[in-house]
Amino acid sequence: MKMLDIDYNELSPMMRQYVDIKKEHMDELLFYRLGDFYELFFEDGELASRELELTLTGKNAGLKERVPMCGVPFHSVKPYIEKLVTKGYKVALCEQLEDPKTTKGMVKRGVVQVISKGTIVDLELLNEHENHYIASIIDYNYLYVLCYADISTGDAYAVILPHKEDKLINMICSLGILEIVMKDNLDSALISTLKGHYGIEISFSNEELDNEYKELYAGIEDEHIIHAMKHLLYYLVVKELKDLSHFKPLEVVYPDDYLEMDIHTIRNLELTETLRMKDRTYSLLWLIDKTRTSMGSRKLKNWLLHPLKNKELIIDRYHKIEKLNNEFIIKDKLRDNLYEIYDIERLCAKISCGSVNARDFLQLKRSLKVLPEIKSEISSLGFDYDIKTHENLYNLLEASIYEDPPVTLKDGYLIKEGYNKELDELKSIRSGGKDFIAGFENELREKTGIKNLKVGYNKVFGYYIEITKGQIKEVSEDFHWERRQTLTGAERYISPKLKEKEAIVLNAEEKIIELEYNLFNEVKDTIKKELLLLKDTANVIAEIDAITSLSVVAEEYHFVKPSLNTKHFLEIKDGRHPVIEKVSNMEYVNNDCIMDESINTLLITGPNMSGKSTYMRQLAIIVILAQMGSFVPASKANLPIIDKIFTRIGASDDLVSGESTFMVEMKEAKNAICNATKDSLILFDELGRGTATYDGMSLAEAILSYVSTHIGCKTLFSTHYHELTTLERIIPSIKNVHVSATEEEGKLIFLHKIKNGSIDKSYGIHVAKLAGLPDEIINDATRILANYENKPHKNKENEQIQLFMEFPEEKESPVIDSLRKIDPLRMTPMEAINKLYELKEQLEEKK
């Protein structure tokens, strides 16, 4: 049964109200509040029952047939919402806007909030370590503006990007944006990529918000950014009904202020999650996150993904770490106090959005309590942080909120005695009434002589007198009791005196609950006026926590303070990969990495599994740590300021877009070659292995030559093409190094030590043996290899081996003649690729 197919006039009044509201929210699953349940009808009910594995029932709605319906209890709705939102659905919560007790006829209802992937604010549904961004994209045909915000923290940012889809997609992925609002003129291919390839929720809106929240972009002059912010605001305020009073003014991000890393680099270096398990554990962030607050954890991740290029700002963080390490007693006290602070940023969002409860206020109070001590400790350290202690808010919460309040706001016991005179009087009446009931029970027992008489209470009959069946005969008409209820073993009565006192007590109880709720809202409104100040405090606390975490890491893992230079000089002594060092059962082998101003490229050879990739990754990690303001895993580090890092590490097909390993290699190589500067760092691990030997080797040599001679940036290039090591004699800026290994009694032993010079043996069969291939295969491969090595060749170094078959000698092919005339050192990578296609076509024609 479909909602739009039914006869509206036949519907019951309640179902008409539902349909009217649902028509305004066709894109959302409407959770319609009926008493203690949220109910979903028609298509929403069918879909929700399937996705949530709930029983689909029916409801009488005035039609001949019952309409499809499923429901969930309102007090346990959160897990259901989380499950639906995670699957990409939007949920509209429709609440009762009037008290049913005081309303005649139909209770007024309306949607109070819409929840989607990017707009969750409930702390129980959020990852405390992650920001939860929703974004707006405006395409101006010559540039993109990306405006993104975290509803749960109140932070909003905007960035202008060149009109290149790869730049836009990279920014979206590196930020972890969950939902994007687009205008309907955006490229459909881009929409398909973001939704299908990266799992980002896409919403559409062409409107902008004009009259509200102008203060959020009041200081912005660029009209492009203003339109993008207004576009996002319309969606949040009008479409999703969000209160954004906790938002800080929009901050414009300038990418040139930070070390640039694309999403491939972030993943290849396992900065925030591992490649294999896609999990935070064993990532670099996992290692360095010793924060004590959720806010500090998110701040540290932001620092890691946005390393600085400003030398003064970096050195300022070094000084703070050094000071904390020297003042370790203060640091320990500071960390203990930080541990007492809850997520103030997200508590502010709950206050703003109206979902705050009394227990949230207690978390805020406990957080505010330790601020004076933290301020004193920061002052002792001499740090330039301005910490507001918010004594007025702490005193308000201390005076008003019970220490153990209920979760809901309509159960009473929210407000302390002594806070409000009227409330105290009502509580006195309630207390006196209850004392009366207890005294009245004893009085009746003595007066009637019925020893097991009880005075009780239930919601149906109120207060009552209960007499067991065996003593009913002792109830006299002179008591003037009125029989109300018959039970199996007892009778229940009421008396005029009891009902009179009941009215007083129950009336006081209702007034207490209503007054406490109103007083709670007054407290909330007072705090709401200081939300932006609280947000500033939260940001300062987050920075203190993040820098303290880096201090703990430096001390715990024996990191050292690096030096920064402007001379294109790189020197690392005893460098280590900190995560591998932490989790490995073996003793880690330290390695140096020294590249003076005359050396741009280290060409690394060595067996598989010997540690080439680890050596490359550890250099990038040391650079990133240094520029985020952290100490680094080495005994000494003198580093240049790097502007961009590009990596091509590991072989992986892009199954979603149907691209092969080789195509992915070439695209990532192209990205590096086209965007790197002399101040960049490039890591190429076995480039060219995804295609035929000669193709791969030719491209690897051409790319290596181009990077070394035309770009001149610091590059680590590992390879199994030993022929490339001759480039050291041709290009002075290339230096050969190798990862050493040795053979003992036919067994390969990795030494994991980087040494100067090249190596001319790959030990492939030894690695296969270590992998556990059957001895028969290993022995056969050893025999075949010996045959090839002993077989006389006219030009052994350059001859490609033919397996299993030999052909009679033929006249040299024109293709080979063309190949001999190629000078790879004078070709760009694109020219090399084009030449490769040309030679391939010649071969096909010959066939």
| pLDDT tens track for 33-50 | 998 899 999 999 999 999
For residue 642, which of 265, 254, 307 has the smallest C-alpha distance? 307
- Residue 795: what pLDDT? 46
User: Per-residue pLDDT averaged across 99-115, rounded?
Assistant: 86
- Residue 572: what pLDDT? 98
pLDDT above 60 for 92: yes
DSSP-derived letter for residue 628 is T
Cβ atoms within 10 Å, residue 643: 18
The residues, ordered by sequence, that sit 6+ positions from 549 with a Cβ below 8 Å of its Cβ are 288, 289, 290, 291, 296, 300
Higher pLDDT, 818 or 367: 367
- Residue 665: what pLDDT? 83
**Cα(621)–Cα(577) distance, rounded to whole angstroms?**
8
pTM of the complete model: 0.84
- Residue 662: what pLDDT? 79
- Residue 805: what pLDDT? 36
pLDDT above 70 for 825: no
| pLDDT tens track for 564-608 | 999 999 999 999 999 999 998 888 999 999 999 999 999 999 887
**Cα(595)–Cα(602) distance, rounded to whole angstroms?**
8
Higher pLDDT, 368 or 513: 368
Q: Is the dihedral of CA 223, 225, 226, 227 positive or negative?
A: positive
pLDDT above 60 for 363: yes
Categorize the per-residue pLDDT at 794 as very low, low, confident or very high, splitting at 50, 70 and 90: very low
- Rounded to the nearest 10°, the torsion over CA 578, 584, 589, 593 is -30
**Cα(707)–Cα(349) distance, rounded to whole angstroms?**
49
pLDDT above 70 for 145: yes
Categorize the per-residue pLDDT at 393 as very low, low, confident or very high, splitting at 50, 70 and 90: very high
Higher pLDDT, 64 or 643: 643
**Cα(343)–Cα(556) distance, rounded to whole angstroms?**
26
- Residue 659: what pLDDT? 63
pLDDT above 50 for 797: no
For residue 124, which of 495, 533, 407, 416 has the smallest C-alpha distance? 407
Categorize the per-residue pLDDT at 287 as very low, low, confident or very high, splitting at 50, 70 and 90: very high
pLDDT above 50 for 796: no
**Cα(328)–Cα(335) distance, rounded to whole angstroms?**
10
Higher pLDDT, 760 or 299: 299
| pLDDT tens track for 303-323 | 999 999 999 999 999 999 999
**Cα(288)–Cα(578) distance, rounded to whole angstroms?**
9
Categorize the per-residue pLDDT at 762 as very low, low, confident or very high, splitting at 50, 70 and 90: low
Categorize the per-residue pLDDT at 142 as very low, low, confident or very high, splitting at 50, 70 and 90: very high
Q: Is 339 helix (H, G, I), strand (E, B) or coil?
A: coil
pLDDT above 70 for 800: no
Of 486-495, 496-505, 611-620, where does mean pLDDT reach its minimum? 496-505
Of 210-224, 392-406, 485-499, where does mean pLDDT reach its minimum? 485-499
| pLDDT tens track for 318-348 | 999 999 999 999 999 999 999 999 999 999 9
